Structure 1
């Protein structure tokens, strides 16, 4: 049995974004576990200087020509790595490879059988239930949400043929079992931080703002995320139209900030129309979040774990999270300052409870929240879970 690993990802772990950050953490954990004896297939614009645990072989693959990409969509060839992987397998002795980690169902379904044929153990990391995710986000792979055939085919193949399937949430694991059937080696890996060189995993310099004037109900809330996705736009618009007026009616001095990368023109217009402060593409999003009193996640679409919420929980920020986005954060139920809501009918009840708890015992609850975050979402915790699964 070999002592090397292979890692193939469609994400760019050196750039911003939830999926990219998750892939970076997984890649770092695999590289640390295999002592950097890792071959990485990744996009050509990947910058390995961001990594602490660097693979000793990195194969960067350029984007396909636009005509090839279109043809690939029609034939179910949804990644740029087809020719590179085939060539690599033909020209390399793979007997010293023990595991291949396939980052996502599309990657998994595209290559799992090729590596099984070489007697390499296969592990697919499912970031979410991709059929649901791609349809909700009207992705190019589903022809803007119209066709799920190839996503379903590839995801099912990855799930059925992998030696091990890893999931970010228990909810996603159950969805796969209900949709594709049982699998003997399904595990909830969860999500976790990637390591950084100059600070602790949870930056102790960040603390949520304190209420400035409880008598006048002066409250500052923040929403964050990638501001160019369908799920963000749809959910933010719904929040502004159905919930924001309820808050302003009860708390006239309430203010709302939206922050994240690449806001669309429609997002910018919504912020202008509803008097929402927009902070575009901040250098340090946790610093922005920490200037507020509470965090709101209104995202209703898409599966998996919403990494945007991690930034708030990591610094002990009280959170109010839409129930679909609460998946994967159930462990924080006991802190009393991470609450969920379903719709506008129960939002204000949860909001009032959270405000009262912030006023009463902010410091103790925030410290408890930060401590629980370390135990669940730190890089060391995630790496340990991965190593235990692979044994």
Structure 2
């Protein structure tokens, strides 16, 4: 198997496996007062401290959740509810259409059920939101006083474009607006510093960085007002009730600590593999169209994502033909797999809908090698020819 879908999920880091295995043999609810409970609480809090150090946060910023989708929902809905409750005029939310569905779908739900309106921030042809665009959007339709929050992802999960987060934060805060960023794809690939970013809320998850599936976190500034989604035991400073998953939290912290420790070397290695892949695809399939920023620097695009459109091919056909040869990739977001429609990210970037249907995402991770890239490049030309023939028949 040649696995080129690390942006969907990536293998567990050995450090995470070791940390989780140690906890699986133990018992104890981290909210219990007896010895086993206190031992579990110690693991949770030490993991919280390690995770905070890895992402430039304070331990009190970290709210553990059941994954990235929950954390995004908690941020978007929670900030909206709190802001609207404080001032009923604040019903506008500003966001680009390139967001993951874990953000887009909660926004749509707020529109349909909670009286919200979404002002979609335009992106350029590379998929980037500019600070001037955000400033213009804040100023219209009732001005800053009508805005509940801003949400812009740190780096796009399909095409890999990195957003100018610090510039966007500066604009939002100049108008006293809270801003959230889904940083799930950036974690482990780019240097993240929550405190230095100035963000009010930031989403991360474990399984994109070598940790287990089913655990994530919302980093939340202590000054941010947020209404909880879940009510129950009052865990996580009353922001997210629910029994804490001690083994998963330990694995989360171990994986992110390792990923951040290795990020400089690994980002450079992945960027070199990505460039090898990009150059190889362009040589073997000359009319393939690279998506995202043509600048390959870390400030412009993620090191491990190469997204192409192959004119005349259906993305799903390409994916299945490659899969039949043991090469696994994606047509975009794994959460949208199987839906016969063009990528919403590419459409937001102005890509023609027909071309947008012809896309594949190749994403690299810690276990990726040059041999993986070579295997893909050897198989790809015949696969593209076969897909084009099938489309003409």
Q: Structure 2-normalised TM-score?
A: 0.30
**TM-score of the two chains, using structure 1 as the length reference:** 0.30
Higher relative contact order at CA 8 Å, sep ≥6: structure 1 or structure 2?
2
